[in-house]
Amino acid sequence: MKRLRNLVLVLGDQLDLEASAFNAFDAKQDAVWMAEAREESTHVWSSKQRIALFLSAMRHFAQALRAAGRPLHYHRLDDTGHVAVLETLGAKLRADLMTLAPERVVMTAPGDWRVFHQLKAVVEAAGLTLEVCEDCHFFTTVSDFATHAKGRKSLRLEYFYRELRQRHNILMDDGQPAGGQWNFDTDNRETFGTKGPGVLPPRSAFKPDSITNSVITLVNTLFADHPGTLDSFAWPVTRTQALQALQRFIDERLALFGRYEDALWPGEPWLYHSHLSSAMNLKLLSAREVVQAAEMAYRAGHVPLQSAEGFIRQILGWREYVRGIYWTQMPGYIERNALGAEENLPTWFWTGNTDMACLRDALTQTLEHGYAHHIQRLMVTGLFTLLLGVRPQQVHAWYLSVYVDAVEWVELPNTLGMSQYGDGGLMASKPYVATGKYIQRMGGPCKGCRYDPALREGDKACPYTTLYWDFLIRHEPLLAKNARMALQVKNLTRMTDSQKQAVKLRADTIRRGAVGVAQ
Ligand SMILES: Cc1cc2nc3c(=O)[nH]c(=O)nc-3n(C[C@H](O)[C@H](O)[C@H](O)COP(=O)(O)OP(=O)(O)OC[C@H]3O[C@@H](n4cnc5c(N)ncnc54)[C@H](O)[C@@H]3O)c2cc1C
Ligand code: SF4
């Protein structure tokens, strides 16, 4: 019998028939390998939404591979047999390399350092070399980023983003940025005012089919004690659905995306965001086609430039940038803790059982849908853990667990770097800190909350406001060195010693858990 030539490994976030690992695929000589492994749902305590999305999308992709005539070796979590009981991707691959004995093992560059090194070690132990193909889904390579970063004292998104706009000719007119400006950030900070957002376009929801329904049953059985629920599961799990979600976003939401990018509103999880991150991260959609669709909508006069630019900056800018940070900084990055934060994550982060209205909103919708928009992640959940002083590694594990779009290359720099300042300023030029008044101003639910964002002391003091001042007091020497924090730190001089003492006492009460838990 002829020996298997290439075994192409496909991970749960590489669901693209056009991926570069398939470039030389020949169905007569090659085969694809995919596996559902328990460890991928347990190394952090993954939410049911996240597990179900990955499994359902993988099973749908397996169907697409078979329809395309590509031979496939696929392990399901509910299979029986000696490989099925193996917990890790590495152990399953080791067993299969013995029986399949391929000449070569090929894969598209993985998104996760841990998984990459696990699989590489297994392949090398089998006497083979793991051939890694560039992930063409991204606009840049990791070495592009390394070249950009080389010799720079500090890394800032803006320069990288401008380079990419020029190199890929995106939103450019005769070599100049469209509209004469690179960035419309200052136009993108509107709130919904006192009247609220009014009628919002409904979310693109996809009714579970038989594959998704069987995955839902499986997850509810095998991972019954994992966080969240699956009652509302409606994420795109196929390329066709992802393309429909993209079109709906372009038609119905993009026009107002820029304007309300930073806004909050109680009970409204979806607002004008795209909800496309999971489809992009699973590679059901390519970042290139998403950016192109947004630019085309602008060129056709359907959406204003501020929205198209704001949206494109998130993908061409932030998304590429954080990937570069992750792959150039790992493995040490995950251990960084520049502020020496050592508190534990409050247990109610896993239940939403808090009397702080903004956090209750963000946590409840996170557990229900596996989704929160950027400002909720950065300035509600992330801000709270930063101010409380939670160990960044615990915060990272939480974010990686609960969101459907959570894959380490994008989640870790956002959490540890941008949100928790754990890398000491590599990702963000200053810690994103604010009082409860910021949340109130952006449309947070302060009116219906038992706390008052204007108060920093006393029983009704908003925990954010108390902890903000406590953060400045605790980190004053470090923050004073940062020019962008100068104004905030200067305000400390207006506080008397007894006011500072009162803040510290209340902050300690919050840290002991005596404030914040719903009664
Ligand atoms: C603490 C924290 C953790 C995060 N974890 C993740 C994560 O695990 N996975 C993830 O994809 N994003 C993460 N983000 C970035 C961002 O919050 C999400 O991409 C966004 O909320 C997803 O919702 P959306 O698709 O509706 O995004 P939209 O608001 O519609 O934005 C459009 C797209 O831009 C990209 N994008 C926006 N902001 C960022 C960013 N800061 N970094 C990278 N890409 C960005 C996403 O692909 C997103 O789909 C995190 C942000 C923070 C502050
Ligand atoms: S008062 Fe404070 S805790 Fe309550 S909703 Fe506003 S910001 Fe959140």
Q: What is the DSSP letter of 332?
A: G
How many Å lie between the centroid of ligand 1 and the Cα of residue 374?
A: 6
Three-point CA angle 293, 299, 305, nearest 5°: 90
pLDDT tier, 81 (very low <50, low <70, confident <90, very high otherwise):
confident
At residue 62, the 3 state secondary structure works out as helix
Give the burial class of 145: count Cβ atoms within 10 A of its Cβ; 0-12 exposed, 13-18 middle, 19 or more buried: buried
Q: Is the dihedral of CA 320, 321, 326, 328 positive or negative?
A: positive
Structure tokens at 379: 């300035």
Percent of the chain with pLDDT over 70: 100
HSE on the CB side for 105, CA within 13 Å?
Answer: 25
Structure tokens at 191: 């709130």
Instruction: State the average pLDDT for the chain.
Output: 96
pLDDT tier, 1 (very low <50, low <70, confident <90, very high otherwise):
low
Q: Is the CB of 277 under 6 A from ligand 1?
A: yes
Q: What is the pLDDT of residue 413?
A: 97
Closest ligand 1 atom, residue 406 Cα: 8
> Is the Cβ–Cβ distance between 65 and 17 less than 8 Å?
yes
Q: What distance, in Å, lies between the first and last C-alpha atoms of the chain?
A: 69
Check pLDDT > 80 for residue 2. Answer: no
CA gap 389, 340 in Å, rounded: 8
Please give the torsion angle defined by the CA atoms of residues 459, 461, 463 and 467, in that order, rounded to the nearest 10 degrees.
-110
Q: Is the dihedral of CA 11, 16, 19, 25 positive or negative?
A: positive
> Is the Cβ–Cβ distance between 39 and 15 less than 8 Å?
no
Q: Is the CB of 369 under 6 A from ligand 1?
A: no
Q: What is the pLDDT of residue 331?
A: 96
Taking the CA of 462 as reference, the closest ligand is 2
How many Å lie between the centroid of ligand 2 and the Cα of residue 474?
A: 22
How many Å lie between the centroid of ligand 1 and the Cα of residue 155?
A: 19
Q: What is the pLDDT of residue 59?
A: 98
